[in-house]
Every structure is written in structure tokens, then in C-alpha cells.
Structure 1
Amino acid sequence: MFDADSREIEAIRLPLWGQVVKDQGVVPWVLQDGLGEPVAPVQTFLRDFTARGNSAGSVRSYAMDLLRWWRFLIAVGVAWDHATPCEVRDFVLWLQQSTKPVAAVRKQSVETAGTVNPITRKTYLDDKYKPTTIRHSNAVLRSFYDYWIERGEGPMFNPVVRELGRGGSRANAHHNPLQPFRAEGRLRYNPRLPKRKPRMMPDDEWNRLFKELGSNRDRAIVAVDVSSGARASELLGMAGADIDWGQQLVRVIRKGSRAEQWLPVSAEAIVWLRLYFNDIGAIGPTDPVWQTLYRRNGKRAPLNYDALRAVLRRTNAKLGTNWTMHDFRHTAGKRMARDPGLSLLDVQTILGHAHLSTTQIYLEEDDDEVFTRVLKHLADREEAKQAPPPPPIAGGYNPEDLDILFGGQP
């Protein structure tokens, strides 16, 4: 048992307790305890979470965050319904200094983890918990405890507290019903996120990557991605009926809203789709579009996200880069935002952003273009310094008359 105000964060070791397993019931993922039994408070919450229309991937994500929280509570000897802001604070501190458990020891990536790639200027992932992970964890816990407090169970108040509003009051405490609500304060222990700009792949780097792809399937999926701006998970959910060949459209299920949306793709993407279909044969209206190239037991399996990542990992290894599928989406967004024939609302619609402010980040100058202009400016200054001085004026001429004659300043 640790004292809440004097815990040695570095000494906390999470037990290898419980697991998240796939289930065939109405709740697609189950959090099991150390004996293999469902953790009742979590499963009740996940049942409600599933009923609200959240995807199986979101259910798994929430279950994994709650598993880590349960392990932490076991380590510090606090029951889930007795957690306080002190536990949330120490949990965040523990996440900030801990290393993520990994399935296998790094081999090839051990030298690059945490470093910056010289070509893409992107940082390689390391084994530390990122601020986005900690913020997501806090949001999950906030939602979990809100659910149980609403039911009249759990702790008396939510241990994941929000910052007070301006003047030290609760946000919207004196809200005028005739005015819209303003956003509440951020969660107290949320780490701040550095502002990140979407980067567009330079054309030469895009051409290098495309050339190294090893199959028509791989070329087709990245060509569809870079022209439609869809997310990888959205593309992987496509079925045969989701391609309109004549209109050059593909249909995806949006990640957040789960709404169906048709997206235009380039003629080149359609060509690569045709070549890919010729390779694997006919695909029915309900069959997944993206499938494995090799059969197992006579059948091809749907291409999943891990297999798609493996394709890019092999290609990156050849090029010495660390591009991701999301870089293709950013590239599509930047290309569209720079086209004077498209409005920002057009770009917002295609990218599926709920708020226009999210799309506006694609209007910011691309770093590569800024660097090119600044480097040219610096080179011009150096050239000006090294230029020979103008020849002296021959004797017998009035400098003022020459300035007037040749356009100088009088």
C-alpha cells in the first residue's frame, strides 16, 4: 500500500494481470482478470459504449486503456471505485517516465528509435508513452467514471477532474441560457501537445516510394489513398460494391461518424485498381477489395492494418525512410488545399473533418517550400557579397548626370 502523497513513482511496477480478448458477443472485446473472468465494471461500461455506436476498434482501444489503469490500481492498492485525483495524477506521472511493454525486443530499429530520419525529417517511434496516448487514457477514464457516477455508483466524484473556468469557477457555472455553451476547461493532468503541421511528401520522394512498391495491389491502395485522402482504416473496409468505375469514385465508412461517403480518385488509381483485380480475379460486391496476395487453405484473407504496415516497413527499409499511410492523407490534403480551383469547404468535405478549423492547418506553408525560398535568399546574399565592385566612373563625367541618364537616383 502506497501513501497517496508520497508514492515513489519510479518504484511502481505494474503486474502482468489480465488481458483483452476478442469475443463473439455483442461486445466485441472483453477485459478479463487474472483468472480469465470478465471485469464486471469494465464490461458493463463497454456494453453501453458499444450500444452508442462505437466501432470494434474503439471498444478495443478503451479496453486496453482500462486494463492499464486496473493494473496501476492493483500496483498501488486502490479499488477502482475509491480512486481519487491523486491516483490519476500519479498514473500520469508513471506514464510519463515509463517504457511501454513490447511483444518483442527491438532488433533492426534499436538504433533508430527516437531519432530523426534525415530524408523525411520525421521522428522514429520509441518505447515511451506519447502525450497523445496519455491524453487518450485520461479521456477514457473520464468517460468510464462519468458513466458510473451517472448510474449512482462508483466514487462520489470523477477522479479525472477538469481545470476550473476563468475566475476560479466551474466552466459554464453562470451560463446565460440565451448564449451558446463555451468549451469546458481541459483535463487537469493532460500534457500539452506541441503544434504539429501536416507534411506533404515531396514529389520526388513520392515517386521513389511508388517505384519500390512490389505489387499492383500495393500501388493501387497508395494511389487511391493519395488521391482520395481517406484514412487507412477506411480504405481497408472497402467492398467490391464500393467502387464506381465509371465515375472514378470509391465509397468508405468514415472513422468517426460511421457515415458512408463517396470520394473521387484519380484516373491513375483506377488503372492500378484494374491491374490489381486482373491479378487476383473477380471480386464480388460484398467481398473485401484489399486481400492478401497469397492464399491460405485455398482462400485469400482480407488485408489488415498490420499487413499493410508491413508493406510500408519493407519499402521504407529499402529507401531509408519512415513514411506512413497517414503521410499519404496529409499529402492529399496539402495538394488539394493548394489548388486554387478548390475551396477550403471542398477539402473539408473530402477529408471528412467535422470542423473547418481542422482543415485550415493544410493552408499553412509547407516547410520544404519555405526552406527552399530562404536558402535561395541566403545564397543570393552570399553571391552579392562576392560580386566584384562596379568599375569606377571615367574622368570628366558628372556622376549626377550619369545617374539621371542610366536611371539612378538624382
Structure 2
Amino acid sequence: MPWLVVDDEDRLVEPVRRFLIDFIARDNRTGSVRSYAYDLLRWWRWLRVVDVRWDHATSAEVRDFVLWLGGATKSRRSARTDSASTTGTTNPITKKPYLDDRYKPRTIRHSNAVLRSFYDFWIERGTGPLVNPVPLARSDRRRPHAHHNPLEPFRRGEGRLRYNPKVPRRRPRQMPDQRWNELFGALRSNRDRAILALAVSNGARASELLGVRGVDLDWGDQLVRVVRKGTLAEQWLPASPEAFVWIRLYLAEGPPADPQAPLWLTLRRRDRGEGLAYQPMNYEALRAVFRRVNALLGTNWSMHDLRHTAALRMARDESLSLRDVQTILGHAHLSTTADIYLVEEESQVIRRVQDHLAELKERAKRPAPSVAGGYDDSDLAVLFGGGAA
């Protein structure tokens, strides 16, 4: 078991353990197990506070739990240092908000989904409450797919959960070319330049790029093979020639690369006192790269901003179809790609409205047209249905 939940006396929480075993058996990844375990740990602590057994919980406990999450502050192992002055504010350069210590609506919705899945597991086995304490919305108490359009893909038939908060629609964040040049110029190694050049050329996720091995590079056709995050399927993605140039420079300055080993390596000091040694680069090391660059530029860019940038560039290219963009991004449904990336660029909308307002201002300054000489006013009145203005 990669993750387990224990109580205050370091005893294993058996209902959660059995649920997570079943969750792993359904071929879920380790990161998902960690996420589910933390949500269930938070729920277990809440039940201890309200003094309710897990198998006696009702929708009232879930309702109060959601209300508490909406107003609570996350507990931290250590106090904020440099980020204390920026938490909850918006970066003036990137126009992106900094994270704060509040629970976001997406976190609450994920928690509700985990709890409903947990109680469904135990209701199927005849243990636990008779009714799932995480109820569906009243409007969704109907048979799943009762009026499904055969031309549309099937969605989850469970329906919307009653206490799910509304999630504001967020626009994808495209990095302007000038900001991209600043970010790329602030990188300190060819390894970092190669990773970011790959990300901005094909929109691959961070976890997908970090899993690339030497054998996953096709130098002739300039392709990179990645393992997709959701389906775990292998897929070849195109990459820009500049990305392969930086990969070549990175490989030339490092140790001899093993084609079967991870491509991206980082120097780390081992605990056994053996000095610095090359180790596979993980997600935390990639986050450290962005922390250094953001501190230098005064920004808060992330790896996912490069995915949005690549996707919007492809979606606005007339030579690429929306199906092409969906395939490169690895979306399961075409509607996902359309809903996220078929948006009008905000700067172009603002520019067109400004041109419209400027035209109205110029039109108001123009003198009123006068009637040319040689025309009789009564004839014009008959022609236009009124006086000549």
C-alpha cells in the first residue's frame, strides 16, 4: 500500500485501508491513491470532532463538513516565509492569482466525490449506512442516460452532488511571446531549456515529460514518446527543432546516457555521504526550477501555463483542425478541447471594442451632411418622408 491512514494512536484505519486496496485493484495510480487518502483523513478527523462513527454518518454531517471547508484555513507544517506577502494576491505581470490557504471549490467537489465513492464501496458490501450520506441533487434523481443523445459521448450517470459548490469558469492562460522569451532566457541549464522547449511545442504534461527515456526520442522524425497521464497509453508527439537542439546540448554536457534510463537527471547529495550523484529528475525538482525563475522575474508561471500556451497556439492555427489539437493534448473527448481552448482571445476583443468606441467618437465630430444646391426642399420631403436634414 503506497498510502495508509492512521488515527491519533497510530492505529490503522481499517475501513479506509480496505477501500484503498480496492481502489488500487481498479488500476488507479499512486498519485490518485495519495489524493483519496488525504481526503478520507480529513473526513475522519471531522467525524472525530463531531463525535460520529463513520458508518453512522448522515447527509447532515456532510453538509456541515462542506460548510466548514468553505470557511476553514488549511493547516501548515511551517509558517509561510517569502510567500507570506503575496498569498491571495494577483501577480501584476502574469495576471495570475497566488494560492492562499483556503480550500478551493474544486477541492471540496473532489472531497465529496471521494466520500461518495467510499460509502458506495461499503454499501455494496452490506456494511456501513443504508443510504449514502453524500446525496445527489434533487433535480438529478432520475435514471442515468434516460434521454441520452446517441450523437454525444456518455457522461457519468451518477448526477451532480447536492453540496458541490460552483466552480468559476477559468480561461486558459496563454503566455505572450515576450514573457516566454524572458522565462526562457532566465533558465540556467540546457536541461531546463530542453524540457520547457518540449512543453511549449507539444503541450505535454509535466509528469509525461519527466517519464521520457533516451529510447523515447526519434531524432530522425523529431518525435517524443510519452505515457499519457490518464490512460497510460504510449503516444508519439512532435517536437520543435529547437527542442531537439537543446536536448543534444544537454546530452553532450552530461554523463553517458543509458537509452533505457530516464532522460532527465539532476545532481543530488545522497544521505550515505557519497557526495553528489546523478538521480532521475522528479516533479519537485522541476517546481524548484520555476521557483528560481519566478523569483528572478517577479512572476508566478507554472508548467501548466506552457501546456495552455501550446494548446492555444495550435487551436488558433487555421492549418490544424480541432481533432488534431485533441490528439496532441491527449483529451478523451473532443468537447473537452472545444470547451477549454475554443475561446476568443481577450486582447483581440478589447482591441475591437476600443476601435468601435473610437469610431463613435470620430463620427460625433463629423459635421452634419447638408443638402446640395439645386434641390427643392418639398421634393426631398416627399422622397425621404420628412424634412431635409
TM-score, normalised by the number of residues in structure 2: 0.87
- Write the distance in 1 (CA, Å) between the matches of 2:342 and 2:36: 33
Relative distance call for 1:313 and 1:389 in structure 2 (3 A) is farther
3-state SS of paired residue (1:32): coil
3-state SS of paired residue (2:265): coil
- Whether the 8 Å contact between 1:172 and 1:181 is mirrored in structure 2 is no
3-state SS of paired residue (1:261): strand
Q: Structure 2 unaligned segments of length 5 or more: list them.
A: 377-389
1:317 alignment partner in structure 2: 295
2:386 alignment partner in structure 1: none
Equivalent pairs, count: 368
Report whether the alignment pairs 1:171 with 2:142.
yes
Return the offset for 1:174.
9.9
2:90 alignment partner in structure 1: 116
Relative distance call for 1:67 and 1:109 in structure 2 (3 A) is same
Report whether the alignment pairs 1:233 with 2:207.
yes
Per-residue CA shift, 1:232-287, capped at 9, x if unaligned?
11111222222222221111121111111111111111111111112222221231
Relative distance call for 1:382 and 1:292 in structure 2 (3 A) is farther
- Whether the 8 Å contact between 1:163 and 1:188 is mirrored in structure 2 is yes
3-state SS of paired residue (1:31): coil
Report whether the alignment pairs 1:302 with 2:276.
no
- Write the distance in 1 (CA, Å) between the matches of 2:240 and 2:352: 30
- Whether the 8 Å contact between 1:200 and 1:330 is mirrored in structure 2 is yes
Return the offset for 1:299.
2.0
3-state SS of paired residue (1:250): strand
Q: How does 1:105-144 map to 2 (within 5 A)?
A: 105-144=79-118
1:222 alignment partner in structure 2: 196
Q: How does 1:391-406 map to 2 (within 5 A)?
A: none
Comparing 298-307 with 340-349, greater Cα deviation is found at 298-307
Relative distance call for 1:230 and 1:384 in structure 2 (3 A) is same
**Among 320, 327, 331, the residue aligned to 2:305:** 327
- Whether the 8 Å contact between 1:348 and 1:356 is mirrored in structure 2 is yes
1:67 alignment partner in structure 2: 41
- Whether the 8 Å contact between 1:239 and 1:289 is mirrored in structure 2 is yes
- Whether the 8 Å contact between 1:164 and 1:171 is mirrored in structure 2 is no
Report whether the alignment pairs 1:263 with 2:237.
yes
The amino acid that maps onto 1:365 is: E
**Among 127, 142, 162, the residue aligned to 1:153:** 127
- Percent sequence identity over aligned pairs: 61
Relative distance call for 1:33 and 1:341 in structure 2 (3 A) is same
Per-residue CA shift, 1:290-345, capped at 9, x if unaligned?
22145643421222212211211221122221111111001111011111111111
- Write the distance in 2 (CA, Å) between the matches of 1:174 and 1:343: 30
1:44 alignment partner in structure 2: 18
Relative distance call for 1:65 and 1:399 in structure 2 (3 A) is farther
- Write the distance in 2 (CA, Å) between the matches of 1:154 and 1:240: 50
Relative distance call for 1:116 and 1:149 in structure 2 (3 A) is same
Relative distance call for 1:385 and 1:275 in structure 2 (3 A) is farther
Report whether the alignment pairs 1:286 with 2:257.
no
- Write the distance in 2 (CA, Å) between the matches of 1:212 and 1:369: 29
- Cα RMSD between the aligned structures? 2.7
Report whether the alignment pairs 1:347 with 2:318.
no
1:404 alignment partner in structure 2: none
3-state SS of paired residue (1:101): coil
Return the offset for 1:178.
11
2:227 alignment partner in structure 1: 253
Return the offset for 1:220.
0.8
- Whether the 8 Å contact between 2:267 and 2:276 is mirrored in structure 1 is no
2:385 alignment partner in structure 1: none
- Whether the 8 Å contact between 1:165 and 1:184 is mirrored in structure 2 is no
Q: Structure 1 unaligned segments of length 5 or more: list them.
A: 1-26, 401-410
Return the offset for 1:222.
0.8
- Whether the 8 Å contact between 1:199 and 1:366 is mirrored in structure 2 is no
Relative distance call for 1:266 and 1:399 in structure 2 (3 A) is farther
Return the offset for 1:43.
1.0
Report whether the alignment pairs 1:374 with 2:371.
no
- Write the distance in 2 (CA, Å) between the matches of 1:175 and 1:373: 44
Return the offset for 1:52.
0.9
Return the offset for 1:389.
6.4
- Whether the 8 Å contact between 1:149 and 1:155 is mirrored in structure 2 is yes
TM-score, normalised by the number of residues in structure 1: 0.83
